[in-house]
Chain A
Amino acid sequence: MNDLREQLKEAVASAFSQGRVRSFVCLERGFYPFATMPAILHSGSDADRVEIGLADAPLLAKYLLDMPKPAGIVVRSCDALGVSRLIRDRRVKREDLYIISISCPGVVDTAKIPMSMHRITALEKAGDALIVHTALGPTELPWSSVLLDRCLACVSGAASTDADVVLDDGRGKPPAPVDYSEIDEVEHMAPDERYAMWEKEFAKCIRCFACRNACPACSCRKCSLDLPEPEWLSRAVILPEQFMFHFTRAYHVAGRCVGCGECERACPVGLPLMKLNRKFTRDIETLFGVDDARIPRDVEVLGTFLPDDPEEFC
């Protein structure tokens, strides 16, 4: 693990020294002992700050939009999908990027550790367990019980191969089995019951836009929902506007969502946004016969028009 970090630091430093990048987005130590947070580096001398991100690692792809190019990024596979999304949506150019991909055993969600962060002296992954060290001694927790939700649906923890540097220590998380049971549950609800559930969830939303702002598929320079004129969405947080917002967001990422879960992780009031996103992903897989619709590809089912399409255009 530490090894990987040393290699990563070196790779970041040499990207700067070889003049490959003007800026680099990576993770660094956060304010809480084991959390990590995004850092944008502007010089190779900052490479010491780079962390792998054992716990609470935010996804970084979206930062590429505003960074001076050429821009570097460290990605694990879920983040690599986000980068690929931005490239295919023509929001960044591959040749302006310097990608270092790393293998990933999963990321710990410190909120799932049932003890005070302030009492923890070290976190350690040992096989299939997380060992939480405190002054009172170590506690062992099953690795899968402390992972971020996104890791429970991981495409693959192996380092992505579309990268300028691939750092894989062979300890990447195996792909998670596809599990749509949560979506089945919602689909099997009676329509009124389902409507009531979403009404309740949407009523909770404070419309802070954290979900949109975190999402690599929500990359419009000027979001239509922010436009004062025409005003598609007013600032009123009333139920019809909540439906308007949530349908717009979910439909706009349908077919482009990479399933990274960063929207749901960013939501401060816990809206189950992945239930909407994954419903679309599954529909695309079953209706169009696509295998794993989270993975961006050159021909996008919802982004392609064929002149000989059997259906009318609209």
Chain B
Amino acid sequence: MLHISKHNLLSLLTHASSSWQVFCPSKQGSTVNFGWFEGTVDTVAIPVNSCKGAFLPQTEELFTYRGTPETGLSLTGGFDGQKPVLIFFARPCDARALTLLDRVFLEGEYADDRYRSRRARSVVVTVGCKSPLDTCFCTAFGIGPDSKAGSDVFVYEDETSLYFEPLTEGGAGFVAAHLAYLAEGGTPVSVMEELRRAELPLAGRIWVEGMAEMLDSMFDHPVWEKMSARCRGCGACTYLCPTCYCFSVFDAPRGTHGKRYRSWDSCQFSDFMLMAGGHNPRPTRKERVRQRFMHKFNYGVKRQGDYLCVGCGRCIRACSVGLHAASALFDLKEAGR
């Protein structure tokens, strides 16, 4: 298998960044976050955020407008083909989550131009998780530390080296373009074995089978009231979740010109569903928390054919009051049986 010594990784990435926009984890203050490559990379920690921002940026300008009734309206800006995106070190849950976002933004009646264009030429390099966190429960969703769904290249990591296994044509192209940095030989058999055997204690407490059907009849269940009582109504859980995709479009007017933006939005915000005239169909935290988990564990299954959760545990780490996918699955099961 082609491999690279960890010492040389930075030179590979620096080289890659001349033809790719590299999105990778790096140390930012007290946490490790995914972001655009700026000369450093952290290959050990599982970042607090997901890599969805590479394809669905938190904020992007759609266009600038300018005009008066006399001059008429002119639009400038818009999307030009940028360098292709390279995700360097997604985790198996991240890669799988991208396939779920694809169903939302690429399939069905409306495909999103920008998402499609960023995603079309992207290469997702995924590293197997040798040290899953206390908060990881991807195996509850049929994923695991060595799952390859959604990845173009899979990487096995041992003490000194990273072994590259190309899985798709795009992945093979990426590897071929960096042969100068890679050496041939060796198969990390023991790492492969270790990944296969990895156990996630949290997944043992989670039950997913049949959850969607069970929730069909739980819309009015009192459990939502109980679960949501502690929610602080922030957007931490949804913003950091790799499968949450809600956004809103708004203008920032400045006299005779302005910009139109698209930004992430969160169903946990009180004004998410607020309508002109003041009506709010989800007036309290109960409705909002219910929406979040119904979307993940019921509506998603109906609309996108799968749970919209990959068990990455990011919401567990994000929520300051312990209201997350794992606690919800646990409480819902208790309530529904």
Binding site for B on A (CB under 8 A): 30-32, 35, 37-40, 56, 58, 62-63, 116-118, 200-201, 204, 206-210, 212-214, 226, 228, 234-238, 262, 265-266, 268-272
Contacts and interface: CB of A to CB of B under 8 A. Distances in A.
B31 A270 contact: yes
A213 B233 contact: yes
B26 to A, nearest CB: 11
A210 B229 contact: no
B17 to A, nearest CB: 19
Interface residues of B, number: 44
A226 B271 contact: yes
A238 B31 CA distance: 20
19 contacts: A30-B322, A31-B322, A37-B230, A37-B322, A38-B229, A200-B28, A206-B240, A208-B318, A210-B236, A212-B234, A214-B234, A226-B269, A235-B248, A266-B320, A268-B48, A268-B236, A269-B49, A270-B30, A272-B29
Interface stretch (B154-162, B167-175, B258-266): B258-266
A117 B134 contact: yes
Contact of B321 (A58, A204, A212, A235): A58
Contacts of B59: 235-238
B232 interface: yes
Contacts of B8: none
A54 B33 CA distance: 30
Interface string B139-158: 00000000000000000000
Contacts of B266: 208
Contact of A208 (B33, B234, B270, B323): B234
Contacts of A31: 322, 324, 326-327, 330
B130 interface: no
A37 B327 CA distance: 11
Given A235-B263, A268-B236, A268-B318, 6 more contacts: A35-B322, A118-B134, A201-B29, A206-B236, A213-B234, A236-B59
Contacts of A209: 234-235, 269
Contacts of A35: 322
Interface in B235-253: 235-236, 239-240, 248, 250, 252
A111 to B, nearest CB: 9
Contacts of B321: 37-38, 58
Contacts of B305: none
Nearest to A206: B239
A237 B236 CA distance: 14
Contacts of A268: 48, 236, 239-240, 317-320
Interface of B: 28-31, 33, 48-49, 58-59, 134, 201-202, 229-230, 232-236, 239-240, 248, 250, 252, 261, 263-266, 269-271, 274, 317-324, 326-327, 330
Nearest to B330: A31
A213 B33 contact: no
Nearest to B60: A236
A185 B134 CA distance: 34
A110 to B, nearest CB: 9
Contact of B232 (A116, A204, A214, A237): A214
B28 A204 contact: yes
B29 A200 contact: yes
A32 B317 CA distance: 12
Nearest to B132: A116
A269 B234 contact: no
Given A40-B230, A206-B58, A236-B59, A269 B235 contact: no
A39 B327 CA distance: 14
Nearest to A31: B327
Given A31-B326, A37-B230, A236 B261 contact: yes
Contacts of A118: 134, 201-202
B49 A206 contact: yes
Contact of B252 (A38, A207, A213, A234): A234
A213 B318 CA distance: 14
Give the 6 A-B CB pairs with smallest separation, nearest first: A118-B201, A210-B234, A266-B320, A268-B318, A270-B30, A37-B322
Task: Tell which of B49, B134, B250 has the most Cβ of chain A within 10 Å.
Answer: B134
Contacts of A30: 322, 327
A288 to B, nearest CB: 31
A28 to B, nearest CB: 9
A270 to B, nearest CB: 4
Contacts of B30: 270, 272
A107 B269 CA distance: 30
Contacts of A237: 58-59, 263-264
Contacts of B234: 208-210, 212-214, 266
A206 B324 CA distance: 18
Contacts of B230: 37-40, 63
A208 B236 contact: yes
A197 to B, nearest CB: 9
Contacts of A206: 49, 58, 235-236, 239-240
Contacts of B270: 226
A206 B235 CA distance: 9
Task: Tell which of B201, B234, B265, B323 has the most Cβ of chain A within 10 Å.
Answer: B234
Contacts of A56: 322
Contacts of A266: 232, 234, 236, 320
Contacts of B201: 116, 118
Contacts of B330: 31
A164 B225 CA distance: 29
A58 B318 CA distance: 13
Task: Tell which of B30, B33, B261, B266 has the most Cβ of chain A within 10 Å.
Answer: B30
Contacts of A269: 28, 31, 33, 48-49
A191 to B, nearest CB: 20
B22 to A, nearest CB: 18
A31 B319 CA distance: 12
